[in-house]
Amino acid sequence: MAHGRPRYAQNSGAVFSLKYHVVWCPKYRRQVLVPPVDTRLKTIIGTVATEYGFTVHAMEVMPDHVHLFVAADPTRSVAEIVNRFKGRTSRLLRDEFKSLRSRLPTLWSRSYFAATVGAVSEAAIRRYIEAQKGV
């Protein structure tokens, strides 16, 4: 199965490679993810990933949306992964940046985009997310 390939992970019951490209936006697509909010958002995402055993392969924060290329084990649903990130970041950012409370009823819109990423498209997704910085 894995034969020592680093692109596969394993737990007690499975060998897997489950990677997702997820995107979510602030409520009303407001452009509120700007310095210093963007830097703090990235830090919180890193903390949540470590806490839940997610691996963030690439991340880009644009003023009105977040791109994340993240891997998780099969015990985590995509909805749980996104909700862990959105829940913690919303709570902490709204506590730390009062302007986010006054301008928005909630930080994030309820929806998100998610796509699975196979080994073939992994490099393309990394390039796409990294290229967002130049847009």
- pLDDT, tens digit (0-9, with 9 covering 90-100), for 49-71: 999 999 999 999 999 999 999 99
| Distance separating alpha carbons of residues 85 and 107, to the nearest angstrom | 12
In the block, residue with structure tokens 């997310």: 129
pLDDT (0 to 100) of residue 48: 98
For 68, counting Cβ atoms within 10 Å of its Cβ (0-12 exposed, 13-18 middle, 19+ buried), the class is buried
- Going by pLDDT thresholds of 50, 70 and 90, the confidence category of residue 120 is low
pTM greater than 0.95? no
Which residue among the candidates 20, 28, 52, 128 is catalytic per the annotation?
Answer: 128
128 is catalytic: yes
pLDDT in tens, 6-65: 578 888 888 888 999 999 999 999 999 999 999 999 999 999 999 999 999 999 999 999
Listed residue (69, 76, 47, 74) closest to 113, CA to CA: 69
pLDDT (0 to 100) of residue 4: 43
| Distance separating alpha carbons of residues 14 and 119, to the nearest angstrom | 18
For 102, counting Cβ atoms within 10 Å of its Cβ (0-12 exposed, 13-18 middle, 19+ buried), the class is exposed
